[in-house]
Amino acid sequence: MFCAAVLTIGLDQYRPFLGSVGNLSDVLFFAVFLADALTWLASLDQRRWHEFLGSLREMEWLLWGGVLLALGGAVASLQSEEPGASWRITFKYFAMACIWLPWVAIAIERYSSRDEARALYAIGFCLIAVATWTDLLIGTRFAGRFVTTPGYQVRFDNLSEALRYGGPTGHPNTLGYLSVFGALLCVSEIGASTGRRRVVAGLAGLAVCGGALIVSGSRGAIVGMAVGGVVLLAFTDRVVRRRVTTVSAVSLGLLVVALTIGGLKEIPSNPLRRLTESVQPRRDFDADWQRRRDLTMATKLLLRDPLTGYGMEDVDTPNPPTKVAFNLPHFVLLQSWVAGGALALFGAMWIYAGTLWVGLKAARRKLPGAAALFAICVAFALMDMVNPGLGQRLKWFALALVIATLRRAAHAPGPLDGRLSAANA
């Protein structure tokens, strides 16, 4: 069940049960967590309690970030016009940072190996990319089956005229996120693998994820992919770097050719064209103008009250907040500040800074798979500067993998310990 939760983590808007409970992956994670908690309590002793406290101390930085975020949300909820919704969102983020993430980091080695979890993470993204392409090419309509949240359903009658497509994720930006993550994991697999089958599988995954990135039309995703690729190259061995550089250069060349002079040049969702047009003085995108107006309004509100926030009820949603009647800015840190005040801002900054620090620590130690995971962390931290999705578990699972990798390295016996154990045996 844990493996199924990892495999479906990209289906952000698939809610086959009660919509308020969460998507399918959330429900599966919760079921495993509940069973795990009951089992742990039934067999609780002094040794297990000390192991639990030791694990929490290893992730103390993450807990502090979650606590600060929750305190900011609590203060903002006291003056929100919809306090019930604001308190619910506040608890959601507290649970993510202080319960879900630490537990997943510990549970990865309990229910699967670190390598298996990373492989399932990549396979799930590649399958969503394949489903996106089959929707467009042969009309399979996976998005109609796996997007059940109201407001995110796809209208297939005018799909050919749509500017962007989100596929089974329900939103083009979400598709852009997972396309970047899947592509970085596949590039890493191609560089580190010696077997032909795994290299071929990595190339196939890179192709479908790269194609899904184009379909998403996400400008932030294409920038995140470029920066993540540079980070991946910087933290790989020389031999692996040569192979990764070759694959990346060929893939990037084919992508640029396809988007500039090839058959994909004129597609409306061309992210390169949208990226260049968005920095011109005369912008063609209404969304950019709207975001500039929202940013201006956010600045005025923060000048009026930079400390307490205006309520958490509409964080991570496209709906305007009840109290201030404007769209929250598409920037996670700024959104946290407007909604939850200074404490929420500091909590979010603390979590992102800690994420980059532990990712850098794992990558510098050359731990298995750490370079790709750190590249993903850098990519989503950058993409979150133009997107509002603080609570997306599909990106925070990469942090859980980084923490699990560091925990395994810290608890692994050294050479001397191994020889002493053998001698005692």
Q: What is the residue-level pLDDT of the chain in tens, covering all 425 positions?
A: 888 888 888 888 888 775 556 788 888 888 888 888 888 777 766 777 777 777 788 888 889 999 999 999 999 888 887 888 889 889 988 999 999 999 998 888 777 788 889 989 999 999 999 998 888 778 778 877 888 766 666 666 655 555 677 888 888 888 999 999 999 999 888 877 777 888 888 888 988 898 888 888 788 888 899 899 889 988 888 777 777 778 777 777 776 666 565 555 445 455 556 555 555 555 555 556 666 777 777 788 888 888 888 888 777 654 545 555 556 677 888 888 888 899 999 999 999 999 999 999 999 998 888 999 999 999 999 998 888 778 888 999 999 999 989 888 776 655 444 443 444 44
Helix, strand, coil content of the chain in percent (nearest 5): 70, 0, 30
Residue closest to 84 by CA, chosen among 30, 26, 20, 24: 20
89 lies in some domain:
yes
Work out the number of other CB atoms within 10 angstroms of the CB of residue 385.
14
* Helical H segments across 82-218, by residue range: 83-95, 101-111, 114-138, 142-146, 172-192, 196-216
301 lies in some domain:
no
290 lies in some domain:
no
CA 320 to chain centre: 23
225 lies in some domain:
yes
User: What pLDDT does residue 280 have?
Assistant: 57
DSSP-derived letter for residue 137 is H
For 244, the domain range is 2-35+57-274+322-407
418 lies in some domain:
no
284 lies in some domain:
no
Q: How many domains does the chain have?
A: 1
User: What pLDDT does residue 260 have?
Assistant: 62
Cα separation, 223 vs 173, in Å, equals 13
User: What pLDDT does residue 164 have?
Assistant: 74
Q: What Cα–Cα distance (Å) separates residue 372 from each residue in 59, 157, 190, 278, 299?
A: 21, 39, 11, 29, 36
User: What pLDDT does residue 342 have?
Assistant: 93
173 lies in some domain:
yes
Cα separation, 320 vs 170, in Å, equals 20
Reduce the DSSP state of residue 280 to 3 states and report it: coil
Work out the number of other CB atoms within 10 angstroms of the CB of residue 176.
29
The answer to whether 235 touches 374, Cβ cutoff 8 Å, is yes
Place of tokens 């994720």: 169
Cα separation, 13 vs 153, in Å, equals 9
User: What pLDDT does residue 268 have?
Assistant: 47
DSSP-derived letter for residue 98 is I
Reduce the DSSP state of residue 196 to 3 states and report it: helix
Cα separation, 189 vs 209, in Å, equals 14
What is the number of alpha carbons within 13 Å of residue 410 lying toward its C-beta?
Answer: 12
Residue closest to 130 by CA, chosen among 70, 206, 77: 206
Cα separation, 409 vs 290, in Å, equals 47
* 91 Cβ neighbours under 8 A, 6+ residues apart: 70
DSSP run (H or E) holding 356: helix 332-364
Q: What region, left, alpha or beta, does residue 387 occupy, with left being phi > 0 and alpha being psi -120 to 50 degrees?
A: beta
Cα separation, 40 vs 52, in Å, equals 10
211 lies in some domain:
yes
